[in-house]
Structure 1
Amino acid sequence: MAVRIHFSDDDLAGIRLAQAPDPMWEALLSMHMLQTDTGSAVFGGWRGRVRRELAAGVRPLLRLAPPVGYRRSFAVLRPSGRG
């Protein structure tokens, strides 16, 4: 089943792009990639190095960011005023 989404001119005019990467989103998405085997051609080397070097005491933190299912949103909350 194909889904088609139509954006009006007003919709497109309202799009805002981040001025810089968000460190918390980058950390969260990196934790997701670390726990999967997707994108091996691009992420395989990085993933292997990090998995080997990741301290045992840090590994339980990965449970806070499962690559599928429920994600705790506190990891990416923004302070008020940051938009």
Structure 2
Amino acid sequence: MTEAKVRQQYDQMAATYDWRWSRYVSNTLSFLKNWAQIPSTARVLDIACGTGEFEHMLVTDNPDQAMVGVDISEKMLAIAQQKCHAT
């Protein structure tokens, strides 16, 4: 599979990704957040951040958390940016 094809597939599912996978994403990211115990002073790099649900969880608890999310899908990143700026 090519990079362009992967990007296209994730761009196509971006609008419905959170709704479709909400329970799975919520459970796994909640586990990750608790397991990782990320200090509020840490800088976080989330590779393949998708729609930014993990970033949203961290920012909700600590609005000053420094983080960067990267993803192959520009549409997923746009949703992530909206989520994090709305918090």
TM-score, normalised by the number of residues in structure 1: 0.30
TM-score, normalised by the number of residues in structure 2: 0.29
Greater share of strand: 2
Greater share of helix: 2
